[in-house]
Chain A
Amino acid sequence: MADTQLLLGLSFVLFALGLVGVMVRRNALVMLMCMELMLNAVILALVTFSLETATLSGAVLVFLIFVVAAAEIAIAIPIVLQLSRQRSSLDVEGYDRLKG
């Protein structure tokens, strides 16, 4: 068994990488994928803590998070497709109509 600290550190670093990707990249699809990376990092932390406390509800929660992630991606990708069809670009800096 690997120790908890290492897995937690890996999860935190992956989360920070995903956050940097969301802030830094221009492509809307790449930003979505970086959000998926953040969600994966959180799931890793959840699994680590659930192993630490030796409860089954952590794994059940991970299952529910998987379902929520599938629903999220099923809604987010049509939104991105609509945006790219209206602006004919995936560049988020072109989406200035959202400024209000």
Chain B
Amino acid sequence: MENRNNILWIIIRKMRIPLLVIIITFAISILGMVLIPGQDNNGNVYYMNFLDAVYFVTYMASTIGFGEIPYEFTYAQRMWVLFSIFITVIGWFYAIGALVTLIQDKNLISQVNLAKFQRKIKELKEPFIIILGYNHITKDLINKLSISNKRIVVIDKEEAKIEELELENFIPEVYALTADVNSPDTLRLAGIKKRNCKGVVTLFDNDFKNTKIALLAKLLNDRINVIVKSTTKEQSEHLKNLHIKTVIDPFTIISSRFYLALTSPSLWLLEMMFFGHELKLEKFEYMPKGKYVICGYGRMGKAIAQALTRAKLEYTYIDLKSSEYKKNKKSAIFGDSSDFRDLVKAGVKEAVAIVAATKDDLINLTIILTAKKINPNIYTIARENTIEDITIFKSAKVDRLYVLENLISEYVHKVIHLPLAYYFINEIHKQTEEWGEKILAEIKEKVQFHKPEVFQIRVSKNETYALYNYLKEDKERKIVLGQILRDLRDYKKRARICVLMVKNRKGEITFMPDDNYEVKVSDTFLMAATKEAKEDFELAVNNYNEFYYILTGKEPKYGIFKYLSKGEE
């Protein structure tokens, strides 16, 4: 409402003078036409009445020009008309010109867009997430979330970015607004106070900005999930103190993932399964044991070093800062003779692996290439900063690639789309290699497929209609996991699904529940399955007839047949 008023005020302000000009010029012309005597066809003097005068001036000013009425004008009248034409036509065009400028007015356009945005947010009834800032990471994230029909609101300060987003044509529509993300008003506009707002995602490069927004969001609405990126330990601690549940620190993720890759391949594999990795390690994915050389000792380099220390592996590092390097050498290409010497000095010849961890993709790439020249068998690990450079790194045949932007968007996607998976991943990092091996074996045995899909499903009216009603109809009814995990074609066979974990109504977690686990309303299951088994399962727990079949092995009878066959049962 406030906003619609603004639009009106802008129009009124800008149209004031044009309207005044029109009224005054019209009034002068009309008065003149009435006062100047004319002649009728018989030569009698007559005076134009107001109706004729208004009529005549109106069509004259708008250059329609129906002619001289009611009688042909005298010369005196014509002189007046000549004068009137100049003043009224100029006034008229001035008003039209002002109107056209008004339509292109930046203020007005932004106000109109704001009004549209507000209306859309108001009408949005589904759960949605607010994403602040539109960049490579959030674009990737939106792409992933759009697949599962999540509703998203995006805010960015730059108009060009919002325009870019609108060109992407995401389905379902992503609502976007150009506004300052730092202000609470903006967050309120984006609907943070709405009941169906589920979360706020802030993944800026600037940690302070993220913290500030996280705090604002938390104060505005305590109930929502605030997902914040943080790149330092202190910052993460701050955020934890503010009771922010989801803090995404890409360097901690890399450090722990690197540690898993070094020490327990099965846990690593289990984690990567959630990100679409096959349940099998390729040859190049085995990390060599021995001495590592880290190039670039910033946040990333330190994260890797930390993992190496935990894994009790030896390493040396070269403290290479990409910005300083570029300034000193006036080049973004690593590998002149002094760099060569540095690498040799750091021990690349005897090392088993090289890590290129600077902030600059080109420098990282050239570090890898130079190291390979010195030691052709060296295992290469590189940090890639932007998603855009992915093809170059792929063609350079880097053994292990950490794409920061991709990593963040994948993680946030898991937090939003599969919260249980996020929980499971956190558990993985606390477990032992044996645990991982056991679970991997179980998944392989139950799913019998090398690339399972992970999904979560909640026993509720929306997600499992038939199962939910079956349990609700009779409180005494008991149903165990083994009963519903049946093949739709042959109920004697088990479906190719492995249940990874369950969260019950009270929030208690059970990992790897067996087939005797009793299913209750409001349980949420995290499952790994083949695509087909997943679709079949979703059908079975939603459709009464299919559900009846997997429970009993019989086809349900309909209508009249139900009565006819009563005797048989």
Judge: A and B partners, yes or no: no
Residues of chain A whose beta carbon lies under 8 Å from any beta carbon of chain B: none
